[in-house]
Structure 1
Amino acid sequence: MVPNRKYKEMAVLLRINNILFILLFSGIMMQCTKNLPPGDSDNGGLILPEGFEAVVVVDSIGPARHLAVNDNGDVYIKMRFAHPDGENIGLRDTDNDGKADQFERFGVFDQKGYYATGMRIYNDYLYYSTASTVYRQKLTRGKLVPESEPEVMLTDDYQNSPYGYSHIAKPLTFDKDGHMYVPFGSPGDVCQSKEQNRMPGALGQDPCPELEWHAGIWQFDANKPGQTQKDGYRYATGIRSIVGMDWNPYDNTLYALQHGRDNLNRNWPEYYSPWQSAMLPSEEFLKVKEGTNAGWPYYYYDHMQGKKLLNPEYGGDGKKEGDAAKYEQPIIGFPGHWAPNDLHFYQGDQFPEHYKNGAFIAFHGSTIRAPFPQAGYFIAFVPFKNGKAGEWEVFADGFTQVDKIVDTDDAGYRPMGIAMGPDGSLYISESEHGKIWRVMYKGDKKNFGPGQLAQMEKLKNLPHIKTPDEERDDLTPLRAEAGAILYNKYCGSCHMGNGMGDGSRFPPIAGSEWVKGDQQRLIDVVLSGLSGPIEVNGKAFDGVMPPVDYLEDEEIAQILTYIRKEFGDNSPPVGSYYVKQGRYYSKKKKEEMNSGL
């Protein structure tokens, strides 16, 4: 009888201890939730799963790129453009209301600082990058702004590249063994000579000489100042352009998201329709191990067919696979041109278990999906279970501020950077105005599951996320209608409403190769003007057309879309991205000509 009583007493004590532990744990969790600031009544405009709240930390500080959060909650933001007081901004919330009330600029004044990207904290150092340089500063405990001088860790002499330069963002990540990883993007869509780059129908170089210094990820010593690319080790290759990259602590492996190539329909209309060009190639989510080769410039991934295919510059036609199976396959292929610009593997405990060790991805949004709505512009989440990726989900939406994005400038906000705070909150930056959100979970973690996720799944039907219908979602008629009004206002007096010109001074555009041919040549004529003798439809003309560069990119795109549809045998529409690109090259050409005088 005594032993039985003893066991009963022990069982009672165990039950009491369990109850006390549950109460203590619940108290700790309640206290953690109480320590979180209140979310904004509208969650700062964001749509989040049930149980999540968001507070706007700061608004309208200017175009912001990546960000990092210190272990005391201070937020560091890499701004896009150079500033005399430094390109970085430090934010501090001193009263725990979720709003930053201390704001300081610091860092360097690097006039090559456009396209600034990297911002990471590693071993008490703040590392950040511009297009040309990676810097670091030792954080000063208790101080918002580091008191140490910036150290130059890596310099990229990209302007002297024999292949040209583009895709020169410098995102950063670090492993556990003292290595820093930096990608060096490709100069173009595929590996072509400077003369052939962007030319319709031009073939690629094989073998590709650019791969020695471009289109890959290089590994560097994270603690050695003064390095150049030659001091690094080419860790992975065949990856065209990376802006989103992170080291996953769970499996101690590097992951990266590739921006896919452009211009499939423009350069190869016999193989790719405008719809295919909008959807392809896929943005590849890659698990990157030492020696990985993802196949650029020879191959691209098609998520609709579920395989890599041969690029048309190397003999592909949208169906041929060639030796694609030899190259690294993505763990997920996202729809084309969504522009994945940051990646973060969540290690916190604040969010429900569903998010532990999973990947958050910031999709900055497309620029060249015309004639279909632009897409992306949201935060996705990819759950990982036992190291394996599941189906991607919508985690945060509401950035677009409009129902349909016809042109990139229509988007209110473009998600850019992701970072985790010391309490497990998720911070999100955007690049249009410089708004920073802090996302927190305050619901019941045990009851989070399929119901909440199903609500977010419905958002995949929104115009900026869904797969567009090839006929119903084609915006060409809408843009052509707007272009007709602009054409008659700015062009019709010379080229006439019917596009036939006046027969003597002003040439016809109807049926002209100038209209239905290479759109880049047409764009250049509008932006730069044209003078001297030309032949149109077999007749000689010798006059002057002044530039029409005073119009907005979208207005020019609408005019050209209209005339190519109306007078150019229903040729493919022109997107404002290409006008913007043409304006850049036109300005660069003029600067080069002026510098040679």
Structure 2
Amino acid sequence: MKEPTYFSHYLNRLATLWVVFLLISSCQSGDNLPEADPDDGGLFLPDGFEAVVVVDSIGRARHLTVNDNGDIYVKLRVPNEAGQGIVALRDTDGNGKADVIENFGDYPDTGNYGTGMEIHKGYLYFSTAGEVYRTRLDPEKLVPEGEVELIMKDDYKNAEHGYEHIAKPIAFDNQGYMYIPFGSPGDVCQEFNRRPGAPGLNPCPQLEWHGGIWRFDANKLNQTQQDGYRYATGIRSVVAMDWNEKENSLYVVQHGRDNLHRTWPDMFSRWESAVLPSEEFFKVEEGTDGGWPYYYYDHMREKKLLNPEYGGDKEKTTGAENVEWPLLGFPGHFAPNDLYFYQGDQFPDRYKNGAFVAFHGSTIRGPYPQGGYFVGFVPFEDGKPSGPWEVFADGFAQLDTIVNTGDAAARPMGISMGPDGSLYITESVQGKIWRVMYTGDKSEFGEAAMAKLEERKNSRTNIKDPDEEKDNLEKGLLEAGAQTYNIYCATCHQTNGKGDGTRFPPLSETEWVTANRGPNRKRLISLLLNGLEGQIEVNGVAYNGIMPAHSFLSDAEVAAVLTYIRKSFGNEASSISATEVAQVRKEEK
């Protein structure tokens, strides 16, 4: 047999490289992808896209990252019962479903706001509310076994003012630096935080240590905020942050201020307070000043306006030319909680280098439907948006009209990309992860493929701008609730809600009625459904009457009458939804 020649060796090597190239190309073009779920995991996606649920119910998932081998690492909002705050996932048979699930991460955790999760130069970086840690990954092992190193610890400067916006997302540049936001301690740097009519402090002392982005050495251990460099200022609260590799620059989407109507009722209507101010999309460079707390952005008028705490009247722009304006503004209270610039090749070309944004969903849009609860997309060209924002993935909440945050079955939270260009999305209610894939013909992808998502943008109540009259949820709810109240409740509690002074307690300004969170909110629903016997104390007075069960009322009737009570007689609590009532009824059967 003839000895192989150099040329034949070369041909064999070339053939091997060609096979590898074909395998990579087929993977990026959508071949060899796992089979999608028949219903795409409940998601609505552009034509040609499909989704598979990787895992469900791993705990309240926040941000995630995907390793080069496809392993997934997820940060939980709160550690599990064993004190472990990270979940590692592996798909060993290639069907898209995680079949190895391991919890790890036994580290000190300040607060319950775990957020950041990034892989950088062989290390897994992750954050709690107050710390940034890292541990070295072993390519042979799913769970890292090395030492957990403390990179940065928040020393909570100005903590006496409170500390509301404490998330610690993480981003890295290409020069060895790590970027961390330090959110504002309050809403708009008022003399008395969130007090109606309270003036803003000018200059705002909180800007020395908060309301901005700090830059740190990504490899130095045991840093505090003092060791960092204030890279940008005037940025109220950031959870959505990413380093854009193509532009070699940092980008963020800021959470806008809250409660314009509650704080300034004579100036802003409830509708204006629901849709304003905008969530601002910034390109952040060294020295950027986003304008907080002095300014807010109105995306409908495309204006940066002076906040009323600083003399604003919805028209004044005094000094706004000296601060950074956003690349674009999203509607208010969408709650942008992750930002990811797509670098893969699997998706159609229009998505390359564009920005995906996970809108976690609002809590303060009442009396209008809550907004957000979807993943949006912003096409990019030359470092800035090249078109309006779009809806990429919807259906997380599993219902159209979201009255209260707790009604949503899922709230999209984190976004990352796998080695084959698939997009991974987490949600924070139960802990589900979707893998979104493109399986269509990229050459045929166009506007028609996105038509149904454009229709959702203009019709779904969690996405569209609410109609000031038609979408006011309280309008019909309060009328129906008043009717039910007068039939079943007024005899005992009186038409004015003050009770009879002896046997039947008042319904005004009591935690029994106005509780907005946790067990006490459910207690009110349960009380109406099941009744109550025995002595209770209301506003310091003991009552010992009998409250009959009203389980014969429908979920909608219970929701309406409780909403009426919570918004009448001097009460200003949030609405109760039929979804909440149904859930309590189901739990107590």
TM range, normalised to the smaller chain? 0.7 to 0.9
- Counterpart residue number, 1:54: 51
**Cα deviation digits, residues 360-412 of structure 1 (max 9, x gap):** 00000110000000010101010012222121111111111012101111111
**SS of the residue 1:107 aligns to:** strand
Distance, in Å, in 2 between the alignment partners of 1:202 and 1:236 is 27
Stretches of structure 2 lacking an aligned partner (at least 5 in a row): 1-17, 522-538, 544-555, 578-589
Aligned residue among 442, 445, 448 for 2:442? 445
Alignment of structure 1 residues 264-303 onto 2, 5 Å: 264-303=260-299
Higher mean displacement: 355-364 or 36-45: 36-45
Indicate if the aligned counterparts of 2:133 and 2:149 stay in contact, CA closer than 8 A. Answer: yes
1:562 aligned residue = 564
Q: After superposition, where does 1:153-164 map in structure 2 within 5 Å?
A: 153-158=151-156, 161-164=159-162
| Contact 1:476–1:573 under 8 Å retained in 2 | no
Query: 2: CA distance between counterparts of 1:117 and 1:52?
Result: 28
Query: How far, CA to CA, are the matches of 1:487 and 1:294 in structure 2?
Result: 48
Q: Which residue of 1 aligns with 2:451?
A: 454
Shift in Å, 1:486: 8.4
In structure 1, distance between residues paired with 2:295 and 2:275:
16
Residue of structure 2 equivalent to 1:477: 475
Q: Which residue of 2 aligns with 1:403?
A: 400
1:277 maps to a residue whose letter is: S
Residues 274/298 of structure 1: CA separation in 2 closer, same or farther (3 Å cut):
same
SS in structure 2 at match of 1:458: helix
Relative to structure 1, is the Cα distance of residues 424 and 507 closer, same or farther in structure 2, using a 3 angstrom cutoff?
closer
**Which residue of the partner structure matches residue 466 of structure 1?**
464
Q: 1:316 to 1:96 in 2, by over 3 A?
A: same
> Aligned pair in 2 of structure 1 residues 73, 404: CA closer, same or farther (>3 Å)?
same
> TM-score scaled to structure 2, two decimals?
0.82
Q: In the alignment, what sits opposite 2:122?
A: 124
Letter in 2 for 1:127: Y
One of 198, 204, 211 as aligned partner of 1:202: 198
Please give the residue correspondences for 1:77-88 in structure 2 after superposition, counting only pairs within 5 Å: 77-83=74-80, 84-88=82-86
Query: How many pairs are equivalent?
Result: 527
Question: Relative to structure 1, is the Cα distance of residues 288 and 505 closer, same or farther in structure 2, using a 3 angstrom cutoff?
Answer: same
Segments of 5+ residues of structure 1 without an aligned counterpart are: 1-21, 529-541, 547-553, 578-597
Deviation of 1:320 after TM superposition, in Å, equals: 1.8
CA distance in 2, matches of 1:489, 1:160: 53
- Residue 266 of structure 1 aligns to a residue in which SS? helix
| Aligned match of 1:588 | none
Q: Check whether the contact 1:557–1:574 (CA below 8 A) recurs between aligned residues.
A: no
CA positional deviation for 1:420: 0.5
Secondary structure at 1:104 match in 2: strand
Structure 1 runs (4+) greater than 4 angstroms displaced:
22-32, 481-495, 500-509, 522-528, 554-561, 563-568
Select 1:361's aligned residue among 357, 364, 378: 357
Provide the C-alpha distance between the structure 2 equivalents of 1:315 and 1:185, rounded to a whole number of angstroms. 23
Q: Check the 8 A contact 2:566/2:575 in 1, yes or no.
A: no
Q: Residues 162 and 35 (structure 1 numbering): CA distance in 2 closer, same or farther, change over 3 Å?
A: same
Structure-to-structure mapping, 1:114-513, within 5 angstroms: 114-158=112-156, 161-193=159-191, 196-389=192-385, 390-460=387-457, 461-481=459-479, 483-484=481-482, 492=490, 495-499=493-497, 502=500
Q: d(CA) in 2 for partners of 1:230 and 1:59?
A: 40
Distance 1:576 1:134, change over 3 A: farther
Contact 1:240/1:260, CA 8 A, preserved across alignment: yes
| Cα contact 1:364–1:378 (8 A) shared by 2 | yes
After superposition, the C-alpha distances for 1:435-487 in whole angstroms (9 at most, x for unaligned) are: 00001111111111121122321111211100100000001134425754886
Partner of 1:66: 63
The superposition leaves residues 55-110 of structure 1 with CA deviations (integer Å, 9 ceiling, x where unpaired) of 11001111100000000000000011023252000000001000000011111243
TM-superposed deviation, 1:252: 0.5
CA distance, structure 1, for counterparts of residue 185 and residue 487 of structure 2: 39
Q: Distance in 2 between matches of 1:220 and 1:257?
A: 20
Amino acid at match of 2:73: Y
| TM-score when normalising by structure 1 | 0.81
Distance in 2 (alpha carbons) for counterparts of 1:465 and 1:92:
34
CA shift at 1:25, angstroms? Answer: 8.3
| RMSD over equivalenced CA pairs, Å | 3.3
Deviation at 1:149, TM superposition (A): 1.3
Query: Judging changes above 3 Å, is the alpha-carbon distance between structure 1 residues 559 and 31 closer, same or farther for their aligned structure 2 residues?
Result: closer
The secondary structure found in structure 2 opposite 1:162 is helix
SS of equivalent to 2:138: coil
Q: Does the Cα contact within 8 Å between 1:216 and 1:238 map onto a contact in 2?
A: yes
**Cα distance in 2, alignment partners of residues 557 and 268 from structure 1:** 29
Residue 105 in 1 paired to residue 110 in 2?
A: no
CA distance in 2 between counterparts of 1:134 and 1:240 reads 20
AA at the equivalent of 1:72 = N
What percent of counterpart residues are identical? 61
Question: Residues of 2 paired with 1:281 and 1:60: CA distance?
Answer: 34
CA distance in 1, matches of 2:58, 2:563: 36
1:112 CA displacement: 2.3
In 2, Cα distance between equivalents of 1:266 and 1:29 = 55
Q: Deviations over 1:473-526 (max 9, x none)?
A: 0011344257548867997566412446548999998xxxx87xxx99x95899
Residues 284-335 of structure 1, C-alpha deviations (whole Å, 9 max, x = no match):
0011110001111111001111111111111112222221121100001000
